[in-house]
Homo-oligomer: A and B are copies of this chain.
Amino acid sequence: MEDAELAVADVDGVFPEGFYATTNHPTDVRVRGAWARVEGIEMDVGIRITGDGAEACPMHRVRKGDAIVIGEAGVRVTVPELANAQGEAFRFMSSAASTERPKARLIATVADAMRAAHANGGKILFVGGPAIVHSGSAPVLERLVRDGWIDVLFAGNALAAHDIEASMFGTSLGIDLARGESIPHGHQHHLRAINRIRRAGSIAEAVHQGLVTRGVMHACITKPIPFVLAGSIRDDGPLPDVFTDAVQAADAMRELVLGVTVAIIVATTLHGVATGNMLPADVATFCVDSSADTVIKLVDRGTQQAVGIVTDCEYFLNELARVLS
């Protein structure tokens, strides 16, 4: 068996032509007659040879002089056998993301995967969209964080802003969460909430000042668990904790996916696909959305291990919390 062919990068942030583009499956590369496991594997990046092995390298991290793998020779990809607990959920959904299957059984499978992850020292990542707050389910997610079921949170400005809006005003997008009705001027509440956090300087500081006393972000700060809030062009404010630079946000997410063995993506296409792209293929990935299209899109983008659950985030979270407790 021959060694992988290498080429030297001649510009920062640019691969040599013909660079090998990765999958998210475990990958080995043959260098100087020996196989080295590629560290930090994720989809759609390159492979950089390091002093004693090889590592996945996003395009923007290439530095002039790096040795980059070219072509497919000397690269070996392992498509993993699915573990049993996980495999059951996979088979269940094998044909398609159907709205016509019993969901309670599938949600129990998510709970099983979470328990197995913690029993084996794996981390559980939760990726969520603002519909969690709009639907009144933030208290359930808050409880999951406080009870230790979630180790890392990825979200955008909107989930955090509306969660804090709910904490400060009892509304989300101006809808009173207790009565389900619009509040006069309520559509400005999230702007006022963001503005107060900007004045405090950070969510953590706002918590310490007593401006935020409950909610998902309060639980993240006080538990504490790490989180990444990734910015987007549609953000109001944004909150001071938001990474406004997309490349920095993605790099921060990359740090935190290390050690994750279960990922639960709820009601977000943007953050879900972004996360899916950086997860190794052996992470048990569950994608929950009220639209089958979101699940199909995630799988079409290469996260083929994703198990789709087409349902409300409200039902999913309530049922998951019920099963876990």
Contacts and interface: CB of A to CB of B under 8 A. Distances in A.
A318 B322 CA distance: 13
Interface stretch (A26-34, A178-186, A212-220): A178-186
Number of copies of chain A assembled together = 4
Contacts of A321: none
A134 B100 contact: yes
Interface string A242-263: 0011111110010000000000
A52 interface: no
B191 A273 contact: no
A49 to B, nearest CB: 18
A100 B162 CA distance: 12
Contacts of A236: 44, 59, 277
A234 B95 contact: no
Interface in A220-239: 230-238
Given A198-B13, A234-B273, A105 B178 contact: yes
Contacts of A13: 198
A113 interface: no
A151 interface: no
Nearest to A89: B180
A177 B270 contact: no
Nearest to A99: B290
A87 to B, nearest CB: 11
B105 A237 contact: no
A230 B131 CA distance: 24
A55 to B, nearest CB: 17
B188 A237 contact: no
A96 B99 contact: no
30 contacts: A14-B198, A17-B195, A19-B191, A19-B192, A21-B192, A44-B188, A59-B195, A59-B237, A60-B237, A60-B238, A96-B96, A96-B299, A99-B131, A99-B312, A100-B131, A100-B173, A102-B136, A187-B302, A231-B245, A236-B277, A244-B245, A244-B248, A245-B246, A246-B246, A269-B269, A290-B290, A290-B310, A291-B291, A312-B315, A314-B315
Given A97-B296, A234-B274, A244-B246, 4 more contacts: A100-B131, A109-B180, A233-B253, A290-B290
